[in-house]
A and B are shown apart, each in its own frame.
Chain A
Amino acid sequence: MSELRRFVVEDGSDLTTLVSGLEQRAPFEREPGQVLDRTFYDTFDWRVHGEGGVLELTRSARTRSPRAVAETWMVWRAAATGEVLGRWAIDRVPEFVWDLPDAPTTRRLAAVVEMRALRPLVTIRSQRATLRLIDGEGKTEARVVVEEVVVVGGAGRPDLLLAPTVEVQPVRGYPRATDRLSELLAAQVVLRPADRDLVEEALAIAGFVPGDYSSKLRVAVDGDAPALDAVVAVLHALLDTMAVNEPGTRLDLDSEFLHDYRVAVRRARSVLAMAKGVVPPDLLDHLRSEFKWLGDITTPTRDLDVYVLTYADFEATLPPALRPDLHPLLAFLVERQHRAHAELVSELDSPRYSRAMDRIRSWLADPGAEPHAHDPLVVPEAEMPTSAFSATRIWRAYRSLVRDGRRITPYSPPEALHDLRKDAKKLRYALECFGSVFPAGALAPLVKELKGVQDVLGEFQDCEVQKGSLRDFGEALVGEQGTDAAATLMAMGYLIEQLDEREREARAQFAERFAFFDRHHNRAHFRQMFGPPEPAHPDPIAPEESSTMSVEP
């Protein structure tokens, strides 16, 4: 479908004259006028926008059409063409995609927004006149929509009237009609082409910048700058991510605020672990223990979030007859999640939390003011160029991963795989935090394969943890409900069996993925980018441990 064509009406022009003038130039049919309240929605991390879409709730403020079946619609369209991607008649405002009726379109939208809350951003009131260009059969070949828009105020912002616009909306299969109307509009002296679309304009007025948040770490560090600067810059960015996600975490708007908050905490812990020799040890020890605490206080809520989110998948693996038996588990999980979240909020309100945040913020604001900040005996690597610093840290993390990974056998205990997963995460975070000093093109394939290893380790660990949790939940349920819990326990037993099976598959897959990651090509690549200057041997751990390891073929 061709692009929309939008024009702005010059100040002081009369719309009625414009419309009647157009009507004389082509065979139009005028539709009843409409007044619509349109509220634009997106997730906190702009997933709809990121996929080139617009999601809006449309209410007829006043309709003259007695034919309208529903007054309120959720409409999802392509921003560029206006093509409707999905549409739902609704009787209550959805908070999540799963509040919409199940349909193929809902499943497509779900693939975009997943578990994120749909948040209302800005409302406009639009008064519309639509002219349909018709052929001899009365078929619509294109539309002209004349629209007067008020951006509805809120939070101290007054209503704002925008300049009226005129837009050509194409109909598939009738490109000539669209061209004809575009030419007709372009020839009107009172119209000039619009430079941005209505949604962008309304969002800007309401103070939103689409795409301004992403869970990806976006910080560029300078390879020539001292290592301390890079550490500070990365921690700054991570602390900002935590701050941005804190309100949503406190309100539990959706599970991902806490998730992103925790990822930032883990990345920060990783950075701190790498910052030995760069940050004075007293401060470093303090920060590491406070960030570990942040990880600990957020874990119970996150774990329960995951169970609640995956509950539907769990239930779907059961034979249909057993599914209702599992319902008490969901109620149990939701109740636990509420409790855990309340505890988390009280921790975030605690003096310890504000002290820890103040401490790190004041250090980041002026790292030079810290005692011994420049003492080469205390922080020997603080002045090291970031490129060299990053390379040594990435290389170290890579070596640990490879060394520990090669020790994994089909008989290794789950803890060994869990530790290996931590190694993999450390390397991943090191690459994410300091990778920007290396060429992105060379890094991407390594990260992709590392992710392959992480995914399978994650699957293994998830199954292992979930099996244990299901056992704990089972005991707790029996404690609360006694023999009433019997049917639920049976259904849970079925789940544990399936998790066991998945865990076995993940273990089998691990060997293959890891071997692929650890192939000669990647080793050479890692060594070349991050390794010490004199490669005695292309194998990363050969010089030190060649006697105990099987190395290059």
Chain B
Amino acid sequence: MKVLATYNIKGGVGKTATAVNLAYLAAEQGARTLVWDLDPQGAASFYFRVKPKVKGGSEALIRGRRAVDRAVKGTDYDNLDLLPADFSYRNMDLELGDTKKRTRRIDLLIQPLAKQYDYVFLDCPPSISLVSENVFRAANALVVPLIPTTLSLRTFAQLDRFLADNPGRKKQQILAFFSMVDNRKNLHRELVEKVSADRHDVLATRIPAASDIERMGIKRAPLPAFAPRSRSATAYRALWAEIQARL
């Protein structure tokens, strides 16, 4: 079982679309896949049309009163399950703070799923918090969408520093890639070229800023499910292939 977390300190960079689309593609290939929507806003749950509700909420999960796999819902797609968001996840930091092994809790909750799933995608809320520290412990790889703006790249540098200063964490890969790239904008082109030249660890695939990705919110489905041959879906396939090769 590989655990991948889509993460960025900054919000609105296409994290959830990435988690949902990559998970769909993994499942389409036949891998048994789970998405855990950790964001109290519940965007991933919304895309899958699953009610953002977990019985007993975040507290029941974190304290182990409700087994994680009993809260899982099958999506409309084969091999693809969702652990829904719950509004109570906004308090997850507090729940985690009250437990033993406070930075390993999520890892401990996920490990029993190893027999059931090949991939677990954690869709994380933005910010650096106890939840994100847990996610860093649990994940084999952090999938980090970067939008080609100065502020976004600045937060990527912050993330790098934070992870470097955190010697206790599990060694995981950072798989950053450019998202929402608009090739008509000079600034986007320049930033992408500059960063790609400086940092060879940034993945080669770029996800375009495209209206079909925005239509996921209208269709309430993963992009490759409703527009499998679109340019953006093709880009996500390339991204997934690149990530698999790195894992």
Taking Cβ atoms with an 8 Å cutoff, the residues of A that contact B are 67-69, 76, 84-89, 101, 103-105, 132, 135, 137-140, 171-174
Contacts and interface: CB of A to CB of B under 8 A. Distances in A.
B56 interface: no
A105 B49 contact: no
B182 interface: no
A87 B32 CA distance: 10
Interface stretch (B60-68, B73-81, B169-177, B188-196): B73-81
A247 to B, nearest CB: 33
B29 interface: yes
Contacts, number: 63
B118 interface: yes
Contact of B51 (A86, A89, A137): A137
9 contacts: A88-B29, A101-B29, A104-B118, A105-B31, A137-B50, A137-B51, A140-B76, A172-B72, A172-B81
A140 B225 CA distance: 15
Nearest to B76: A140
B236 interface: no
Contact of A87 (B29, B76, B226): B29
B238 to A, nearest CB: 14
B228 A69 contact: yes
Contact of B79 (A84, A132, A174): A84
B73 A86 contact: no
Given A69-B229, A85-B32, A137-B49, 7 more contacts: A69-B228, A86-B30, A104-B118, A105-B30, A105-B118, A137-B50, A139-B76
Contacts of A89: 28-29
Given A67-B228, A137-B51, A173 B74 contact: yes
Interface of B: 28-32, 48-51, 71-74, 76, 78-79, 81, 118, 220, 224-229
B31 A103 contact: yes
Contacts of A140: 76
Contacts of B79: 84, 87
Given A87-B78, A171-B74, A139 B30 contact: no
A88 B29 CA distance: 6
Contacts of B76: 132, 139-140, 171
B64 to A, nearest CB: 19
A171 B48 CA distance: 13
Contacts of B29: 87-89, 101, 103, 105
Nearest to A67: B228
B73 A172 contact: yes
Given A84-B79, A87-B30, A104-B31, A174 B118 contact: no
A123 B31 CA distance: 26
Contact of A103 (B30, B73, B229): B30
Given A137-B49, A139-B50, A140-B76, A88 B228 contact: no
Shortest beta-carbon contacts, A-B, top 6: A172-B74, A87-B30, A173-B73, A139-B49, A171-B74, A104-B118
A442 B74 CA distance: 46
Contacts of A68: 228
Nearest to B70: A173
B30 A173 contact: no
A105 to B, nearest CB: 4
A166 to B, nearest CB: 20
B226 A173 contact: no
Interface centre among B49, B51, B74, B76 (most CB of A within 10 A): B74
B45 to A, nearest CB: 10
Contacts of B50: 137, 139
Contacts of B220: 137-138
A101 B226 CA distance: 24
A86 B26 CA distance: 11
A101 B26 CA distance: 13
A104 to B, nearest CB: 4
Contacts of B229: 69
Contact of B49 (A69, A76, A101, A138): A138
B69 to A, nearest CB: 9
Contacts of A137: 49-51, 220
B72 A173 contact: yes
B68 to A, nearest CB: 12
Contacts of B32: 85, 105
Nearest to A76: B30
Contacts of A69: 28, 224, 228-229
A88 B30 contact: yes
Given A84-B79, A139-B49, A174 B74 contact: yes
A85 B32 CA distance: 7
Nearest to A142: B74
B229 to A, nearest CB: 8
Nearest to A65: B228
Contacts of A86: 30
A508 to B, nearest CB: 33
Nearest to A77: B78
A131 to B, nearest CB: 13
Contacts of A171: 73-74, 76
B30 to A, nearest CB: 4
Nearest to B221: A138
Contact of B78 (A84, A103, A139): A84
A97 to B, nearest CB: 13
Contacts of B51: 135, 137, 139
A68 B29 CA distance: 13
A140 B29 CA distance: 21
B226 A67 contact: yes
A502 B29 CA distance: 38
